[in-house]
Amino acid sequence: MEDTILVVNCGSSSLKLALFDGQHRRKASGIAEGLLGDESFAQINGKDEKIELAPGASHAEALEALVSAFRRLGLMPSDPFAIGHRVVHGGEAFHKATLIDDSALSSIEACAGLAPLHNPINLSGINASRELFPAVPQIAVFDTAFHQTLPQKAYLYALPGAWYRDWNVRRYGFHGTSHYFMVMEAARLLSRTPATTSIISAHLGNGCSIAAIRDGISVDTSMGLTPLEGLVMGTRSGDVDPGIFDFLSTQGVSADEVHNALNHQSGLLGISGQTNDMRSLCELADHGHKPSALAIDIFCFRLAKYVGAMMASLSRLDALVFTGGIGENSARVRQKTIEHLHLMGFELNTGFNELDGQHMNGHIESTGSRFPILVIPTDEELVIAREASRLADTPETA
């Protein structure tokens, strides 16, 4: 019977599943949304028909409902060979994917203070999955692990040393599975090996980060202790002057209010006053909505500045890579970003760019560009599936 690998990704009110066969080909996807609320629902492969969930359904209940649907549809006739879990924060404890046992669970829980909105939810998915499949190897794959190769000059903040020694305050970086996938795919497209490939990888979605990857190794990235630092994002501010906190406190704004605003009311949404969706912003800008046009301009300008910053960590550049929902699908964002980078020698082929690199093996640069520019669709779930399969096959390497 064919082996299957199940990938589990728990969000605060959602659960995403992906099912892969033994050759790491995607068989099916499932999603549950509105969990712990009054309007929970689930569906398979984006079909219109919904799977009934009780109001206030938990992640465990959603997992069981989606797995039952996979079985009913003949997609998973037996227990999976391995289960891979996305875990946002591994701190300094995890430099690679790991088999989940009680010790690993304790270490993941110990990192919860670094990601209080993410790790507890990730743990709930792990615990539900272990209860449903007690005999199946379960593997944690960490967003932060790929960036554990950053040198001290890149990961330490210019803060009192005791803050790092006592509280682990440092840059960790996120979207590691996506950036890892980018260097693997870029190497393939450039006919190189990952170990000889150096790229700048821009993961642009509702959350955004950029990474400098030198000879297959992450050496710098924009996100920091939390996923709030760095680029302008959908609802997150990215970089701000730390002095803003003192100023806002004098205006009667509490720490909780600042935290909520910087994470949920800022970024593209905050600037435009309308939406955090880049497609909608482009439509609004085309109809003369100036705040939306400004949001796009700021987003692209900040991104271009970070491309320049990432070059300081590289001895050579084999390609600039765009990925994520915005990076893969917004020709406008790519064009406006590259317009700021002419001095560095980046040049777009407008026609290739409008095609999102399709039919051009991912390439969107002009013949006169100093560097290749690539558009590569990300697949973080595939990375998790591969890691889960590898560790389930050879647990001694965990």
Q: Which amino acid belongs to residue 66?
A: L
SS3 category, 374: strand
CB 139 within 8 A of CB 387: yes
Angle at 377 between CA 355 and CA 84, to 5 degrees: 165
Which of the residues 48, 79, 143, 239 is marked catalytic?
143
The edge-to-edge listing of strands for the beta sheet with 208-214 is 217-221, 208-214, 199-204, 319-323, 373-375
CA distances, 216 to each of 182, 237, 295 (Å): 10, 29, 33
Residue 165 is encoded by which pair of tokens?
């020694």
Q: Where are the alpha helices (DSSP H) in 133-277?
A: 152-155, 161-167, 176-189, 243-250, 255-264, 267-272
CA distance 221 to 224: 8
256 carries an active-site annotation: no
Residue 160 is encoded by which pair of tokens?
């009192």
Contacts of 231 (CB under 8 A, 6+ apart): 204, 208, 209, 210, 222, 238, 299, 302, 303, 306
Residue 231 is encoded by which pair of tokens?
């680029």
What residues act catalytically? Answer: 143
